[in-house]
Amino acid sequence: MPEIPAHGRGTRLRVSPIACSGHGVCAELLPELITLDEWGYPLIAADGTVPARLDRTARRAVTNCPALALSMHPAEPGPRGNSEEAQRPAAEGSGRLRT
């Protein structure tokens, strides 16, 4: 079973497209954040951030996913505003597959 982060830290939902079988349980339990595409596979709203008011419902959706394809992870803080880190380009070669 996927690990669910501790309450109150800010979390994000993720779905594994490989593991998902398109049962739709997640969308039934959490329609505020998850809709289904035309084939019945989940689409997570925006960046997947779970508002505090939906935390308990999101945990229930993760727990009840029959394919264990839905998971919650701590929200990772990213660079903000005009900070030097936010303006820095990605490292050369990042995002490329090596053969």
DSSP class of 75: P
* Rounded average pLDDT over 16-21: 96
What residues does 42 pair with on adjacent strands? Answer: 36
Give me the CATH code for the 11-76 domain, please. Answer: 3.30.70.20
Does position 4 have pLDDT exceeding 80, yes or no? no
Averaged confidence pLDDT in the chain: 80
Q: By mean pLDDT, which of 21-35, 65-79, 85-99 is the weakest? A: 85-99
Does position 97 have pLDDT exceeding 70, yes or no? no
Q: Where are the domains of the chain?
A: 11-76
What is the tens place of the pLDDT at every residue in 47-83? 999 999 999 999 999 999 999 999 999 987 655 443 3
Cα–Cα dist 40/54, whole Å: 22
Whole-model pTM?
0.68
